[in-house]
C-alpha cells in the first residue's frame, strides 16, 4: 500500500508534560519513558487492519506486520482493550458481526505463520462500513467507535496520515504507525498514562 507523505498528527488538546507523550504529538520522537507509577486508567485502542496490523504478501498470503503480535500481547497483558476500524465491502453482511465474520474468514484463509491472528482480543469491537458512503476516510466509523468507548480515552493507530488526521480531528489520540525513527506502535506505557486523563 502506498503511503501518502507524512503530514504529522494534529494536537489532541491533551496537557503535554515534556516528552512524556511525544510519540502521540506532531513533530516529535517517541523516546521518553512513562513514570512507573502510572495508573492503568481506561483506554480503547482502535486500529486499521491492513498494513497496520496485517501485511499481505505478493502471493496474497497475510501475516502480522513486524512487531504487531508482540504489541497486541503487551496491550493484553496491560488490560488495554483493542478494536478494529476497517474498510470491507458493505455487501459482506447486514451487521458489524456478519461483516466481521466475513473479514475473519478472508484473513484466516490466506494466513501464514504458526501464530493465528488474535481475533479474540477484539471481541465485538470490529467496526466496518454499513454502506459504501461510510468507508474511511469518512468519519462515520470513528464516530461509532468513539460512542462505544464511553468515558475511556479513544486511541487510533494506522499507517496513513489521512486516517490519523481524521481520527485526531474527532478527539482520538492518533498515531501513525511505521514511521522511520519512531516506535512501530504507540508505546503501551504511554497509552496507560493517557488513560489517566479519561473519564
- Give the DSSP per-residue string, 142-198: HHHHHHHTTTSEEEEEES-HHHHHHHHHTT-EEEETT-TTS-SS--HHHHHHHHTT-
120-177 pLDDT per residue, tens: 999 999 999 999 999 999 999 999 999 999 889 999 999 999 999 999 999 999 999 9
Task: Take residue 161 and report the three cell numbers written for it.
Answer: 496520515
21-69 pLDDT per residue, tens: 443 443 322 333 334 344 456 999 999 999 999 998 878 899 999 999 9
- Give the DSSP per-residue string, 6-18: P------S----T
17-27 pLDDT per residue, tens: 223 344 344 33
Predicted TM-score (pTM) of this structure: 0.81
**Cα Rg of the chain (Å, integer):** 16
Report how far residue 74's alpha carbon sits from residue 76's, in angstroms, rounded to the nearest whole number.
Answer: 5
From 176, 168, 120, 125, select the one nearest 149 (Cα to Cα): 125
Instruction: Tell me which fold the domain 22-195 belongs to.
Output: Rossmann fold (3.40.50)
So what's the pLDDT on residue 113?
A: 79
Amino acid at each position: 500500500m502506498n503511503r501518502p507523505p507524512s503530514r504529522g498528527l494534529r494536537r489532541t488538546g491533551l496537557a503535554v508534560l515534556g516528552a512524556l507523550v511525544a510519540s502521540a504529538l506532531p513533530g516529535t520522537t517517541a523516546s521518553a519513558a512513562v513514570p512507573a507509577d502510572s495508573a492503568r486508567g481506561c483506554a480503547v485502542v482502535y486500529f486499521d487492519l491492513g498494513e497496520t496490523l496485517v501485511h499481505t504478501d505478493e502471493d496474497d498470503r497475510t501475516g502480522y506486520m513486524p512487531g504487531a503480535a508482540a504489541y497486541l500481547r503487551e496491550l493484553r497483558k496491560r488490560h488495554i482493550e483493542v478494536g478494529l476500524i476497517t474498510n470491507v465491502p458493505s455487501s459482506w453482511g447486514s451487521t458489524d458481526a456478519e461483516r466481521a465474520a466475513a473479514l475473519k474468514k478472508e484473513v484466516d484463509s490466506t494466513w501464514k505463520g504458526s501464530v493465528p491472528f488474535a481475533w479474540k482480543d477484539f471481541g465485538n469491537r470490529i467496526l466496518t462500513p454499513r454502506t459504501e458512503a461510510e468507508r474511511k476516510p469518512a468519519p462515520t466509523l470513528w464516530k461509532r467507535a468513539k460512542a462505544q468507548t464511553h468515558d475511556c480515552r479513544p486511541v487510533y493507530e494506522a499507517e496513513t496520515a489521512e486516517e490519523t488526521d481524521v481520527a485526531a480531528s474527532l478527539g482520538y489520540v492518533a498515531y501513525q504507525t511505521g514511521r522511520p525513527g519512531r516506535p512501530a506502535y504507540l508505546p503501551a506505557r504511554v497509552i496507560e498514562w493517557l488513560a489517566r486523563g479519561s473519564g
